[in-house]
Structure 1
Amino acid sequence: MKKRLKKFDYGLIAVILALTIFGVIMIYSSSYTLSTLDYDHGHYYLVRQLIFLALGLVAFAVVSFISLKALGELSPMLIVISIILLILVLVPGIGVVRNQARRWLAYPFVFQPSEIVKVFMIIYFAHIYAKKQPYIDQFKKGVLPPLFILAIVFFLILEQPDFGTATHILVICGLIVFFSGVKLRHILLIGSVGLSGIVFFMFSQPYRLERITSFMNTFDDPSGDGYQLINSYISIATSGLTGNGLGNSVQKLGYLPEAHTDFIMAVIVEELGLIAVLFVIGSYLYILYRGIHIAQEVDSLYLRLLALGVTFQIIIQAVFNLGAVSGMLPITGIPLPFVSYGGTSLVFTLISAGILVNISGRRPDPTIGG
């Protein structure tokens, strides 16, 4: 264990912890007014996030030392658990409905299974495609079977409905397939089918079409579909280099919906300005850099795919969120990793980070650090 500890990427750990602590501070700032109005005190969301942060840090520490080989062997069972959870979400009386979406279970506490499924799918895809290397050139035997599991998970999450998370998982798993050494023509086939499916489902429901049109024509309906993004623009426009000061956001006072969850970055910009933006984006770029570096340094293909999977899980989620807040991408409802309010998201993002730290401790050269 001492040798593993010496090889851990402590630069990566420091950035993850700094980003997470920063997230807790900004959740308190962005949720204080809402918490006071809804629960008669301003600490409700802060306390809940701190509880999940404690759970997440314990999980982070445990996952940093567990056997990743054993975790890979358990991945088929994790997939069975994933599918069961996603089915239970859709059962009336069991799945919890919020904002016309059924994405949560309430036993033993309220949690979002799709956040768990993200991590389980990465472990499964990394494990299965590493095992399929002897016949990875054969599409029917080496490439296709796990994609049926991906399709089932995609459709179950789509039924919640949660198009953003379903697409997120699809992209992550697609990248793992790409990095596993699948033939280019097979990649092109999978990519064209996946992209066609995303475009089809994007336009298949009115609410998804409304999100696309509001993203492209934000000011056509300023009091309706464009309301959230316009208020995000106002937060960004009034920020400057250093912002208006911590706690001094105006938009969080009932103007900006989801100020402590999906749109927390708008509050961060308004209060702390460009400096905070550089910190957040710089942190994600550092995680991306270290994640790719760690993946290059390990000898095992399974560990390499796992490192790339969890790294791009975090980065793609950040891109989806930041793109939505800035108006560069449609609004997907995906939280900002390590920063947005949300217990399940925080715990399982920290678990993903713990997997990456675990892999960093398995690099053959102990002199390479973060």
Structure 2
Amino acid sequence: MRKLRIQLFAVTVVLIAIGIIMVYSASAIYAYEYLKDSAYFLKRHLIYLLLGIITSLWIMSVDYDVIKKYIKPVLIMSFILLILVLIPGIGREIAGARRWFRFSIFSFQPSQVLKLALILYIADVLSRKQSEIRSFFHGFLPPMIILGLSVALILLQPDLGTAVAIAAVVYMMLFIAGIRLFHLVPLLVSSLPILGVIILAKPYRMKRILAFLNPWEDPQGIGFQIIQSYIALGSGGFFGVGLGQSRQKLFYLPGAHTDFIFSIIGEELGLIGTASIAILFMIFIWLGVRIAVRSRDLFGHLAALGIVLMIGLEAMINIGVATGSIPTKGLPLPFISYGGSSLIFDIMGVALLLNIAKHSERSRLKT
């Protein structure tokens, strides 16, 4: 397990280092033009990184059984924050979405707290109720009520991408834990028409799907961002135009340092750069799954899998959006995008993986 911990730590450090370089490269000109400080986003990115490291040091210093005691309070706090962020004057509204708290020098997204807290809560409930796992009322219904409340609060922001990602991860955790397919499949099937209604309820979501199917239908409107992403990736070719030499970040591609940073990597570092990022995430997932398989108990197993699934799914969705493989979703590329609170909680997730690996190794040595 020690070797796995070192490898996972190394892969994470490489991804974070790439993120630092690319956040500055993708944002410097934009930041200087509008904020008169080319390092504006870089400095804040480093502050979030430092906060993530400080929090992770505590996570690494205690046995993860101690962390279990804080799961319910943190989950309740995340629900309170998700309610508060919806209140005008408290939550900050950007482009019609109310997802952030804005403070003097940084913003905070409470759904990031919920993601990690919910994964740990579901892992805790499923591990404690293993004898009742196949019961509808005692094994299946309790986690689904919490999931339903979580998804509902996130959809009110609105943030469909995060809601779908959270639901998908929890479904997979339930399946892995042994929940009966007789309970899971009907819920999954019935959720599809509900998802369709949610998409149709907001015209911009339908427009995103149409843009995904044919962005050239409205190249100056809803299809603009994905077309600019295509141009960035296509311009990079195999070797890229060179670090810092992107043209699409010059006010052509919206979200160049956030949701579409993968496109800038493709333009500046080419296919070699994007393939390297994809390989690093595949290695990360592989190492995380190995840690989960070797964990000392069911809680560690499910928590590790949940964290790996969430980070891996977010990476797949972000890359899929940038390459036009799936409709646009507002999810950052883990460890790399300028995302503030997402970076903090991704690092905390890795710290939990390392914690599970460390204490599982110690338990084996004692036996």
TM-score (norm 2): 0.95
Read off the aligned partner of 1:79 and give its amino acid letter: L
**Aligned CA distance change for structure 1 residues 367 and 277 (closer, same or farther; 3 Å):** farther
Read off the aligned partner of 1:121 and give its amino acid letter: L
Read off the aligned partner of 1:255 and give its amino acid letter: Y
Partner of 1:162: 159
SS at match of 1:10: helix
Deviation at 1:291, TM superposition (A): 1.0
Partner of 1:134: 131
Superposed, which structure 2 residues align to 1:1-370 within 5 Å?
A: 6=2, 9-107=5-103, 109-364=106-361
SS at match of 2:355: helix
Deviation at 1:330, TM superposition (A): 0.8
Distance 2:191 2:334 in 1: 25
What is the root-mean-square deviation of aligned Cα atoms in Å? 1.8
Distance 2:187 2:124 in 1: 19
Deviations 1:256-285 (A, max 9, x none): 000000000000000000111121101110
Q: Is the 8 A contact 1:176 1:308 kept in 2?
A: yes
SS at match of 2:108: coil
SS at match of 1:86: helix
Q: Which deviates the most, 344-353 or 291-300? A: 291-300
**Aligned CA distance change for structure 1 residues 118 and 142 (closer, same or farther; 3 Å):** same
Deviation at 1:364, TM superposition (A): 4.0
Distance 2:116 2:101 in 1: 18
Deviations 1:29-72 (A, max 9, x none): 00011100111121101111111111112222322232322322
Q: Is the 8 A contact 1:7 1:366 kept in 2?
A: no
Deviation at 1:356, TM superposition (A): 0.7
SS at match of 1:97: strand
Q: Is the 8 A contact 1:7 1:363 kept in 2?
A: no
Distance 2:364 2:296 in 1: 16
Distance 1:17 1:7 in 2: 15
Distance 1:193 1:10 in 2: 43
Q: Is the 8 A contact 2:161 2:330 kept in 1?
A: yes
Q: Is the 8 A contact 1:130 1:302 kept in 2?
A: yes
Deviations 1:78-119 (A, max 9, x none): 221111000001001100011221100125752010111111
Read off the aligned partner of 1:70 and give its amino acid letter: V
SS at match of 1:361: helix
Q: Which runs of 5+ in 1 are unaligned?
A: none
Distance 1:365 1:77 in 2: 28
Read off the aligned partner of 1:125 and give its amino acid letter: I
TM-score (norm 1): 0.95
Q: Is the 8 A contact 1:71 1:123 kept in 2?
A: no
Deviation at 1:183, TM superposition (A): 1.4
Q: Which deviates the most, 37-46 or 247-256? A: 37-46
Length, aligned pairs only = 364
Distance 2:59 2:67 in 1: 10
Deviation at 1:365, TM superposition (A): 7.9
Q: Is the 8 A contact 1:29 1:247 kept in 2?
A: yes
SS at match of 1:288: helix
Read off the aligned partner of 1:318 and give its amino acid letter: A
Distance 1:118 1:277 in 2: 27
Q: Is the 8 A contact 2:63 2:359 kept in 1?
A: no
Distance 1:126 1:200 in 2: 30
**Aligned CA distance change for structure 1 residues 73 and 197 (closer, same or farther; 3 Å):** farther
Distance 2:363 2:87 in 1: 50
Deviation at 1:124, TM superposition (A): 0.5
Deviations 1:209-264 (A, max 9, x none): 11111111111000000000000000011111110000000000000000000000
Read off the aligned partner of 2:174 and give its amino acid letter: V
Distance 2:318 2:341 in 1: 17
Deviations 1:127-186 (A, max 9, x none): 011111111111111111121111111111111111111111111111111111111212
Distance 1:110 1:183 in 2: 41
Deviations 1:299-326 (A, max 9, x none): 3011000000000110000011011000
